Amino acid sequence: MAESPRVAPLTVDDIPALLPHLVRNALESGRDGEPFSRARSADDPPDTSAIAERLAVTWARPVDVPGWERGFGLWVGGELRGHLDLIGGEIESELHRAHLGMGIERPHRRAGWGSRLLGDAITWARGAGLAWIDLGVFTHNAPAHALYVKHGFVEVGVTVDRVRIDGQSLDDRAMVLRL
Ligand SMILES: CC(C)(COP(=O)(O)OP(=O)(O)OC[C@H]1O[C@@H](n2cnc3c(N)ncnc32)[C@H](O)[C@@H]1OP(=O)(O)O)[C@@H](O)C(=O)NCCC(=O)NCCS
């Protein structure tokens, strides 16, 4: 019988499964009527070797060391179909905060997995002693905005014309969650 989908923290052993998911996820951004969810064109795919090299180091860093990262994944039938990443502060004075990004591949959306990933990451961040989670979401990305509001994130401002992708100017909404 096929294994049920599940959400779990990611380890270095999961990096080979994460990379093709990140590529699939990037190809969906801003395409086929979907809002942009990353600050690059879908024609500009993620640099998978650079990501693999970086995560092998940053996922192993303790959370009291600048430059730490953590990942959480949605596994479906042995493949990663969703991810959430937390990126810790770059310098010592930012170590109480993490920046969040996430994405679920289209066929697996609206089934509660985004909410589950976010809930698990928030619980982990509280347990790790963090004080804030920060994120940026393009103002036209209504599904993601609704998800973040549902989990208690509040808006702290909008940067107009934050990026220009494929000839389109996008405004970015900064949101925070006090843990
Ligand atoms: C945003 C995203 C992660 C949501 O994941 P998901 O698994 O579909 O979300 P869930 O099924 O867990 O839904 C949780 C809540 O999110 C909100 N939501 C999700 N999809 C929505 C939609 N299409 N329209 C409105 N609200 C939506 C709702 O509040 C929903 O709660 P409800 O089911 O009680 O109404 C997913 O749409 C996605 O990956 N989008 C592309 C990438 C992206 O935008 N990432 C965020 C970049 S900042």
pLDDT 10s digits, 91-105: 999 999 999 999 999
Whether residue 157 is contained in a domain is answered as: no
pLDDT (tens digit per residue) in 116-150: 999 999 999 999 999 999 999 999 999 999 999 99
What is the rounded CA–CA span in Å between residue 126 and residue 109? 26
Please report, for residues 3, 36, 56, 61, 142, the alpha-carbon distance to residue 70 in angstroms, rounded to integers and kept in the order given. Answer: 24, 23, 11, 9, 26
Whether residue 127 is contained in a domain is answered as: yes
| CATH number of residue 79's parent domain | 3.40.630.30
Whether residue 154 is contained in a domain is answered as: no
The parent domain of residue 30 ranges over 6-136
Whether residue 19 is contained in a domain is answered as: yes
pLDDT of residue 3: 77
pLDDT of residue 94: 97
Whether residue 40 is contained in a domain is answered as: yes
pLDDT of residue 149: 98
Instruction: Give mean pLDDT, residues 27-50.
Output: 95
Whether residue 12 is contained in a domain is answered as: yes
User: How many angstroms does the Cα of residue 115 sit away from the middle of ligand 1?
Assistant: 7
**What average pLDDT is seen over the chain?**
97
Is there an atom of ligand 1 within 6 Å of 72 CB?
no
Whether residue 102 is contained in a domain is answered as: yes
What is the rounded CA–CA span in Å between residue 107 and residue 118? 18
Is there an atom of ligand 1 within 6 Å of 131 CB?
no
Indicate the number of domains in the chain: 1
Whether residue 1 is contained in a domain is answered as: no
Please report, for residues 9, 70, 97, 133, the alpha-carbon distance to residue 88 in angstroms, rounded to integers and kept in the order given. Answer: 16, 8, 6, 9
Q: Token match 């990037």: residue?
A: 26
